[in-house]
Structure 1
Amino acid sequence: MTIRSDTEQPLGFVLWRQTWPMAIGVLALLGFQLVDSAFIARLGTTPLAAQSFTFPLSFLIIGIQVGLGIAIAALISRALGAGQEARARRLGSLVLLAGTGTIALLALLLWGVQEPVFRRLGADAATLALIRAYWAPQLLAAWLGAALYFGYSLFRAHGDTWLPGKMMVVTSLVNLGLDPLLIFGVGDWEGLGLPGAAWATAIAFSCGLLVLGRRLRETDWLSWQGLGREARTSARPFAGIAGPAMVSQLMPPLAAMLAISVVATLGEASVAAWGLASRLETLSLMVVLAMTMSLPPWLGRCYGAGDWDQVHRLMRLALRVVVVWQLGLGLVMAAAAPWVALALSGNVEVRDDLALLIRFLLPSYAALGVCMLVVSAGNALGWPLRAMLMSGARLFLFYLPCLGIGAWLGGLAGLAAGAAVGNLLAGLAAWQVLRRILASPRRQPSTVGS
């Protein structure tokens, strides 16, 4: 699908057309994850805390798959922008092979190191027993989700955001239908408890892969000839994007591990509330996440064609949308915090902690969204090292220090306030970095292969 210029259609309309299917898909995908946590919360505080301890390692898998997806989507979109369709087909095949193999090896590694890692994060013996039963199906679900994500990346690189968005909704609905059955059971069957949530996700992703595989066979986006030569040719540009992008994506799981270690000192209820807040964070950032998926392929095509005026217009529009949407949503959620917390948890202590986190964190995601968009654009526009440094600064220069100081000074309330201040500082810093980057002399795109 070719994206028309703003002389044919208003730029805002084209951005909306590219983003809204992904926004709906992200809403559905993250919504079922939040509902997962809400169902698990009905099992008790300990199962919810057990799931919360797995989030950092789950984010580690997601970080690597997103880093790989960023690199391949950037190279494919640039190749298409430069008219190199044959190379784009070879790159599409490479991501399916290399990406799924890499995630499989990572999943096996995380299975092997689970006990020492979760002990180091602060899980006690009872929580470890729950994690052990949950972790194997969760790793399987993560691998299936990664394979599905790589397929989505191919469609997005070719300008098709409709199918990925639709499939996210379909898999989310399948998961939602299976969740209560597998977690709580039906009739005389008592269900699987916490592992049931992971098995529901694995089945849903398997259904999505069947549909996506059939649709890929109907396209001409893959080529299995000349993959060895293409791998050698593209290794350096791929590593130049994937390396910093993966580091950028791996830093949030590391920061999440450090953050949950701090939260664990405040008690099990705070850990459970933090886990729910983490789910709510990703759900509230659905528009930003959709833009980080729909905008980079568009920017990559502009990069391949050398159209820097379009890049300026796109970034200005995207940043305005992110700030207005996230700030408005954050203020509404902060005002409704007690009712949102009531809907997500039946435990009074967890509910009170969650309401406190919502009030402080949700409005600050306007600044966090700016930072995320700048990092995503940097990977697409040939500045992966700057994007990586910006991501590192957000987490380790702003977010974690402010969070730790806040927890030391004021417990959970101080932690929430510190995290919000860290997000605000990161957003301001990212805005300044973007202004300097776009004001600098333009790099000309290079082509590799044919």
Structure 2
Amino acid sequence: MGVSLWRQTWPMAIGVMALLGFQLVDSVFIAHLGTAPLAAQSFTFPLSFLIIGIQVGLGIAIAALISRSLGAGEEERARRLGTLVLLAGSAIIGLLALLLWWIQDPIFTRLGADAATRALIRDYWAPQLFAAWLGAVLYFAYSLFRAHGDTRLPGKVMVITSLLNLVLDPLLIFGLGNWPGWGLPGAAWATAIAFGGGLLVVGVRLKRTDWLARQGLGHELSHSARPFVAIAAPAMVGQLMPPLAAMLAVSVAAGLGESTVAAWGLASRLETLALVVVLAMTMSLPPWLGRCYGAGDWEQVRRLLRLALKVVVVWQLILGLTLAMASPWVAQMLSGSSEVRDDLAILIRFLLPSYAALGTCMLVVSAGNALGWPLRSMLLSAARLFLFYLPCLWLGARVAGLPGLATGAAMGNLLAGLAAWKLLRRRLNDAASGPACVLHRGEKASFTQRRRT
């Protein structure tokens, strides 16, 4: 089982590391433009996370429904679902991007960006939204591959797009020869071109599969809309809460100065890269759990989750403590400004070790969506952010400034991890008394029928 989990996870881990790595590279290149452009990019992170949150919520529903259909032997339905979610997801993210462009000034004003910073953001925001839409469509395609058990192609394409972005970033940001480059917007255009190349590769591969359907889409839409919304809605709400929390966190950081906002933006990029193994497992594990759920194999579910949690905790503790000890050198590599560098070193020292607890919470939320606990997963996400993380972060900043901000965020992560572990133990103990106790009412009949056959 451990070998199988590793085979499913390592391609996604490499791919996610490459994808998130080039986002960090974007910030490093932008840091060389100065503190103001880096702060401007940092103000856009919460809204970028908003788009990512919705696409991840839709992707969770895609992977869960398709993997359950495959686990129950309903291959034709899986094909119809794959087509529907690709079309609907692309339209939803496109509309959201248009909305975020239209309301950008009031949002960034409320986040604390001054007029000069908003002017920098305005040039960057349109290409960044276009890149985000391309990335969302590509992510939906990745979800389709993961649901069918193929994690290698998404991992390879993520590496390809990251390398392409790495090459294009310095050319489009700083220019070449007599061409001065585009500055901050150049980073967004590099991302858009990289995602476009990835879509071409994935689109060609999808044409060679039989995972999509053209017939029966209308009937499938009416039949699957309710279960899809039942999974996607709580998952999206759960994924939308981190961007909202990020907006509030940026507002708190903005009260401590421009250099703190810039350092917080770099720390946010470093956070996603440090959590690469966790993020890969949240992509590779749910389809596997979904198949076990469809087959009613709860013993296998327990074994998978125990193994995954052990890997996450051990890995994140080793990585977090290592980076915390090396925080001055890591901060120096990521930022050229001495003020930003000092602030970033403090954030790394406190935050990175706490990601073992944060990773535990993320894995439990992801597993809950795949195992028919979407509402509890949503409530756990809400508790993590609004009961633990933000209150501790705000209180720490009020009491001790930047060190308090970092300490409070770490304490919030620790409390969230403990709450997630307690919830998971209780739900798995409930499952031991029979599968029906953990299924939604609308699914009990179909589960019973599958068990009989």
What TM-score do you get using the length of structure 1 for normalisation? 0.97
Instruction: Tell me the amino acid that sits aligned with residue 421 of structure 1.
Output: M
What secondary structure, in the 3-state scheme, does the structure 2 residue paired with 1:189 have?
coil
2:265 alignment counterpart: 275
2:284 alignment counterpart: 294
5 Å-filtered alignment, 1:198-277, equals 198-277=188-267
Instruction: Tell me the amino acid that sits aligned with residue 20 of structure 2.
Output: L
Q: CA deviation at 1:220?
A: 0.2
Which of 337, 342, 350 is the matching residue for 2:340? 350
Which of 103, 108, 111 is the matching residue for 1:118? 108
What secondary structure, in the 3-state scheme, does the structure 1 residue paired with 2:94 have?
helix
1:173 alignment counterpart: 163
CA distance in 2, matches of 1:301, 1:442: 17
Q: What's the CA shift string for 1:111-146, capped at 9, x where partnerless?
A: 000000000000001100000000000000000000
What secondary structure, in the 3-state scheme, does the structure 2 residue paired with 1:351 have?
helix
Structure 2 residue 6 is matched with structure 1 residue 16: yes
Q: CA deviation at 1:334?
A: 0.2
CA distance in 1, matches of 2:144, 2:21: 24
Alpha carbons 2:298, 2:435 under 8 Å: kept: no
What secondary structure, in the 3-state scheme, does the structure 1 residue paired with 2:424 have?
helix
Which of 125, 145, 158 is the matching residue for 1:135? 125
Structure 2 residue 417 is matched with structure 1 residue 443: no
Which of 71, 79, 84 is the matching residue for 2:61? 71
Instruction: Tell me the amino acid that sits aligned with residue 339 of structure 1.
Output: W
2:309 alignment counterpart: 319
Q: CA deviation at 1:309?
A: 0.5
What secondary structure, in the 3-state scheme, does the structure 1 residue paired with 2:10 have?
helix
Structure 2 residue 16 is matched with structure 1 residue 26: yes
5 Å-filtered alignment, 1:366-381, equals 366-381=356-371
Structure 2 residue 389 is matched with structure 1 residue 399: yes
CA distance in 2, matches of 1:342, 1:224: 53
CA distance in 2, matches of 1:96, 1:437: 32
Which of 98, 101, 123 is the matching residue for 1:108? 98
Matched-pair identity in %: 78
CA distance in 2, matches of 1:395, 1:323: 20
Which of 330, 333, 353 is the matching residue for 1:340? 330
How many corresponding residue pairs? 440
Q: What's the CA shift string for 1:217-255, capped at 9, x where partnerless?
A: 000000011111101100111111001000000000000
Alpha carbons 2:69, 2:294 under 8 Å: kept: yes
1:8 alignment counterpart: none
Instruction: Tell me the amino acid that sits aligned with residue 365 of structure 1.
Output: Y
Q: CA deviation at 1:443?
A: 3.4
5 Å-filtered alignment, 1:2-13, equals 11-13=1-3
Alpha carbons 2:24, 2:266 under 8 Å: kept: yes
What secondary structure, in the 3-state scheme, does the structure 2 residue paired with 1:190 have?
coil
Which of 374, 379, 383 is the matching residue for 1:384? 374
What secondary structure, in the 3-state scheme, does the structure 1 residue paired with 2:435 have?
coil
Q: What's the CA shift string for 1:67-114, capped at 9, x where partnerless?
A: 001011100000000000000000000011000000000000000000
Unaligned runs of 5+ in 2: none
2:419 alignment counterpart: 429
Instruction: Tell me the amino acid that sits aligned with residue 24 of structure 2.
Output: L
Unaligned runs of 5+ in 1: 1-10
Q: What's the CA shift string for 1:352-406, capped at 9, x where partnerless?
A: 0000000000000000000000000000000000000000000000000000000
What secondary structure, in the 3-state scheme, does the structure 2 residue paired with 1:374 have?
helix
What secondary structure, in the 3-state scheme, does the structure 1 residue paired with 2:131 have?
helix
CA distance in 2, matches of 1:80, 1:419: 40
CA distance in 1, matches of 2:64, 2:194: 28
Instruction: Tell me the amino acid that sits aligned with residue 105 of structure 1.
Output: L
Q: CA deviation at 1:442?
A: 3.9
1:145 alignment counterpart: 135
CA distance in 2, matches of 1:443, 1:64: 30
1:194 alignment counterpart: 184
What secondary structure, in the 3-state scheme, does the structure 2 residue paired with 1:192 have?
coil
